[in-house]
Amino acid sequence: MGQTKKDEILRDLGRDIANNEHIWQRTQFGLWIEGSYEYDGEAKYKATKKFIETNWNNHKKMRTFVIRNFTEVIAEEFSISYGYAQKCIVELYGNKENLATYTNQLIVDAIDQFKN
């Protein structure tokens, strides 16, 4: 029997995403938010930069931004829907502390990428 998309996500991310700063998804996340996946990447870059410059100190908005964009990049990379990507991430990494730690790491990555 072949691997499911959920199995592929687990294989590529591993169980301990919060403590693995070198997983490729962090790099892909950075490329995603800067617009490298987009046909009109410059527009995405400008929109992301403006959002982060305006909201970098608003944890709730940054958390929402990171979760949405991370889920979108997982959906894109694994050719699955946004909803299924979200379901897989929550099922595989449902430990709220682990997810919060990783989300906070991605927030720092996004701010560092656009505030400097």
**Least confident interval from 59-68, 69-78, 88-97:** 88-97
| 94-116 mean pLDDT | 87
Is residue 15 within 8 Å of 6, Cβ to Cβ?
A: no
Residues 61 and 52: their CA atoms lie apart, in Å, by 9
Per the listing, tokens 């949405």 go with 68
Count CA atoms closer than 13 A to 8's CA, side-chain side: 11
pTM: 0.86
For residue 92, name the pLDDT band (cuts at 50, 70, 90): confident
Percent of the chain with pLDDT over 70: 90
DSSP string, 16-78: -GGG-TT-HHHHHHHHHHHTTTSTTHHHHHHHHHHHHHHHTT-HHHHHHHHHHHHHHHHHHHH
Joined together, the tokens standing for residue 92 give 């595989």
